[in-house]
A and B are shown apart, each in its own frame.
Chain A
Amino acid sequence: AQSVAQPEDQVNVAEGNPLTVKCTYSVSGNPYLFWYVQYPNRGLQFLLKYITGDNLVKGSYGFEAEFNKSQTSFHLKKPSALVSDSALYFCAVRDRDGGYNKLIFGAGTRLAVHP
């Protein structure tokens, strides 16, 4: 079965430092991976996706993610964190579902960026 794991419930980073939010996946076949962000009392916003091609994917708000097939990981990164990046981050993998674009989500990682 397809699955996604986010091993950290919370990540704390000082403003200006680089940040990494971890995600590992388990799929049969090629993975289609997504990152979303959720600000308080809002829905999820799409950040970026990996379908194929370059292992480093760039997305919204200066975020990027590195796909690593051998480690089955898709970690979200940003070179310099902002206090406004504080939010809940979800990694997701597309389910093998015959074209319905269903996603399987991780439990989420809360990112706290301190001034």
Chain B
Amino acid sequence: DVKVTQSSRYLVKRTGEKVFLECVQDMDHENMFWYRQDPGLGLRLIYFSYDVKMKEKGDIPEGYSVSREKKERFSLILESASTNQTSMYLCASSTRRISNQPQHFGDGTRLSIL
């Protein structure tokens, strides 16, 4: 089974802090994704990566950056956290080797910015 692991389930940070959310997958997937989930809005794509050191903006990249130095690890960075970034953050991965395979998700990090 694919395992996508997010380093923290719950995180509390202060406004202005630099925040790192980590995600690791164990299936050698090329694609990795970061979403935020807010009630009534579904999942919105922040950034994704299709290879090591490659990244593409999603629908809501403002205030975020990402890093992918190794294939299995994809980090989301909040450069200067703000209260409107309080949300559930979900990481996912998928293969590119076979078309139309589903994305596999981690359990999420519930981030609160005070």
Contact = CB atoms under 8 A, between A and B. Distances in A.
Interface of A: 9, 32, 34, 36, 41-46, 49, 51, 90, 94, 99-103, 105-108
A106 B9 CA distance: 24
Contacts, number: 59
- Among the interface residues B100, B106, B107, which one has the most CB atoms of the partner chain A within 10 A? B100
B98 to A, nearest CB: 10
B106 A43 contact: yes
Interface of B: 4, 9, 31, 33, 40-43, 45, 48, 50, 56, 58, 90, 92, 94-96, 99-108, 110
A39 B80 CA distance: 31
Contact of B107 (A43, A100, A101, A103): A43
Nearest to B43: A105
A101 B106 contact: no
A71 to B, nearest CB: 21
Nearest to A51: B100
